């Protein structure tokens, strides 16, 4: 088990990882310590879903199927991670926990999560890049409930009026040329989130990776080029200056006004896109020299925290298997606007809703933020990176200087 110092350090890391999906605040949760026999505790980052929601009902049903009562508590992602670390320190962690994928490595580092192989959970059918976000040293520490990622939504009316064919957008040069035409036609170009939180890093990563940059060297020529692209857009009025304060939610609200040609946003906005009142399409975020840029994997993992009473694992395993069964994944991921982690369920999703097809492709090309051996070092890289984005877009530093400062800070982290 981890030491108190390790847990407190891990708490600080989890606190730096903000959720990239829309979640509100949540109430404090009760632990399994002293819980009545037959009651299992379940924490998730969905405080917006109450017991009467499809998600709430599914959790309850999975507990019933396992022969127990599930006491579910939804709370904000960061709050959940911090409470998990404290609960483990006190020896009363929940039985099952759904956590944002970048948090998995932090919890593993603190010795809190059990391996899926030790529980006998089968993850063979899950796409490698999706399970990779919760895999450390070759071992998975949870089962992904689903995945989301980023793409470019576009307004067909705005592009048509500007004489832009969306099929012409294939790389950075053609996208910038399209933005120039849109501005000349009296409309607005592109909106995104460059806020100084994990959301800002999440949105910057497709451009950073799409330039061929590596998170271990933020100040490479490729990384500087990606930041230079965003700065060019802001300086030339193709993107609004308020991207510095935009969350993904407020960025979406800007796109939903119908004034913008493009909006970088996620799978979870598909339902809102249907209600926007204008015809829209979806493009993969282009790489610098063409092709689809790698995009970051969002989504959560169903995990089983370490328990003193190991006899509880059998029921916890049943709950996880129920929540991640093909039939339940289809229903759950449809509710959450997630892409399923298995090809079979993805095919069913596209059959039900053909508009999900580009998102399935995007998720297939996505990368875990903590993968590639980064693990718990990712937050020490991400924070300097979003700080660099803020410095460059605000004009306080050049992209080169901002990324050099970021790399220096990341190296010390």
What CATH number is given to the structural domain containing 307? 3.40.190.10
pLDDT in the model for residue 21: 43
Q: What is the pLDDT of residues 79-105, one digit of tens each?
A: 888 898 898 888 889 999 999 888 898
Same domain for 167 and 229? yes
Same domain for 141 and 168? no
Q: What is the pLDDT of residues 373-408, one digit of tens each?
A: 888 889 899 999 999 999 999 999 999 999 999 999
Based on the structure, what is the number of domains in the chain? 2
pLDDT in the model for residue 33: 43
Cβ atoms of 97 and 106 within 8 Å: the answer is no
- Looking up tokens 């913008």 gives 260
Q: Give the pLDDT mean for 217-227.
A: 98
pLDDT at 27 over 50: no
Average pLDDT of the chain is 89
Same domain for 380 and 234? yes
Cβ atoms of 30 and 73 within 8 Å: the answer is yes
Rounded Cα distance, 297 and 300, in Å: 10
Domain annotation covers residue 220: yes
Domain annotation covers residue 316: yes
Domain annotation covers residue 233: yes
pLDDT at 167 over 90: yes
pLDDT in the model for residue 15: 52
Cβ atoms of 341 and 267 within 8 Å: the answer is no
Measuring CA to CA, which residue among 143, 146, 134, 10 is closest to residue 84?
A: 10
Burial degree of 168 (CB within 10 A; 0-12, 13-18, 19+): exposed
Share of the chain above pLDDT 70, in %: 91
Same domain for 102 and 197? no
- The residues, any chain, with a CB within 8 Å of residue 187's CB and separated by 6 or more, are 158, 161, 162, 259, 260, 261
Domain annotation covers residue 260: yes
pLDDT in the model for residue 76: 81
Domain annotation covers residue 201: yes
pLDDT in the model for residue 37: 55
Q: Strand 39-44 vs strand 69-74: parallel, antiparallel, or unpaired? A: parallel
Q: Give the pLDDT mean for 165-189.
A: 98
The DSSP code for 338 is P
Question: Which has more pLDDT, 117 or 26?
Answer: 117
Same domain for 142 and 155? no
Same domain for 160 and 224? yes
Same domain for 69 and 214? no
Share of the chain above pLDDT 90, in %: 69
User: Given pLDDT bands bounded at 50, 70 and 90, which one contains residue 106?
Assistant: confident
Same domain for 207 and 138? no
pTM value is 0.79
pLDDT at 12 over 60: no
pLDDT at 338 over 60: yes
pLDDT in the model for residue 191: 98
- Looking up tokens 């939504």 gives 153
Q: Give the pLDDT mean for 304-332.
A: 94
User: Given pLDDT bands bounded at 50, 70 and 90, which one contains residue 31?
Assistant: very low
Q: What is the pLDDT of residues 178-210, one digit of tens each?
A: 999 999 999 999 999 999 988 999 999 999 999
Same domain for 284 and 334? no
pLDDT at 75 over 80: yes
Same domain for 218 and 346? no
Measuring CA to CA, which residue among 41, 66, 147, 67 is closest to residue 321?
A: 66
Assign 40 to helix, strand or coil: strand
Same domain for 70 and 86? yes
Rounded Cα distance, 318 and 120, in Å: 10
Least confident range of 21-35, 211-225, 319-333, 339-353: 21-35
User: Given pLDDT bands bounded at 50, 70 and 90, which one contains residue 327?
Assistant: confident
Q: Which domain holds residue 324?
A: 4-147+298-364
Domain annotation covers residue 369: no
Domain annotation covers residue 246: yes
pLDDT at 14 over 90: no
- The residues, any chain, with a CB within 8 Å of residue 47's CB and separated by 6 or more, are 23, 24, 25, 26, 27, 74, 75, 76
Sheet containing 280-283, strands listed edge to edge, beginning at the edge strand earlier in sequence: 188-191, 260-266, 150-155, 280-283
pLDDT in the model for residue 48: 85
Domain annotation covers residue 76: yes
pLDDT in the model for residue 280: 96
Assign 74 to helix, strand or coil: strand
Same domain for 131 and 188? no
């Amino acid at each position: 088990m981890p030491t108190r110092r390790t847990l407190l350090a891990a708490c600080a890391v989890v606190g730096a990882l903000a959720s990239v999906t829309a979640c509100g605040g949540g109430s404090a949760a009760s632990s399994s310590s002293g819980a009545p026999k037959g009651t299992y505790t379940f924490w998730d980052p969905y405080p917006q879903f109450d017991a009467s929601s499809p998600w709430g009902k599914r959790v309850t049903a999975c507990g019933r199927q396992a022969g127990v009562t599930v006491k579910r508590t939804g709370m904000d992602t960061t709050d959940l991670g911090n409470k998990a670390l404290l609960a483990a320190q006190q020896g009363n962690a929940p039985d099952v926990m759904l956590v944002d994928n970048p948090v998995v490595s932090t919890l593993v580092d603190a010795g809190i999560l059990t391996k899926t192989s030790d529980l006998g959970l089968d993850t063979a059918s899950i796409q490698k890049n999706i399970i990779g976000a919760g895999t450390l040293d070759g071992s998975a520490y949870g089962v992904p409930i689903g995945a989301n990622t980023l793409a470019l939504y576009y307004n067909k009316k705005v592009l048509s009026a500007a004489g832009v064919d969306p099929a012409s957008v294939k790389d950075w040069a053609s996208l910038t040329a399209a933005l120039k035409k849109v501005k000349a036609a009296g409309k607005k170009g592109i909106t995104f989130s460059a806020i100084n939180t994990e959301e800002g890093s999440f949105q910057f990563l497709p451009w950073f990776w799409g330039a061929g940059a590596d998170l271990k060297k933020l100040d490479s020529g490729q990384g500087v080029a990606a930041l230079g692209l965003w700065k060019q857009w802001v300086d030339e009025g193709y993107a609004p200056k308020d991207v510095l304060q935009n969350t993904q939610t407020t960025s979406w609200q800007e796109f939903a006004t119908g004034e913008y040609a493009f909006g970088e946003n996620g799978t979870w906005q598909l339902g809102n896109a249907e209600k926007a009142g204008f015809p829209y399409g979806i493009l993969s975020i282009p790489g610098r020299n063409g092709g689809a840029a790698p995009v970051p994997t969002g989504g959560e993992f169903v995990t089983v925290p370490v328990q003193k009473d190991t006899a509880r694992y059998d029921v916890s395993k049943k709950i996880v298997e129920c929540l991640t069964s093909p039939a339940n994944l289809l229903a759950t991921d449809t509710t959450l606007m997630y892409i399923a982690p298995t090809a079979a369920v993805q095919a069913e999703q596209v059959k039900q809703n053909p508009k999900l097809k580009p998102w399935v492709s995007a998720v297939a090309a996505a990368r875990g933020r903590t993968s590639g051996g980064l693990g718990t070092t990712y937050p020490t890289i991400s924070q300097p990176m979003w700080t660099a984005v803020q410095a460059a877009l605000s004009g306080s530093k050049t992209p080169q200087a901002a990324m050099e400062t970021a790399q220096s800070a990341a190296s010390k982290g």
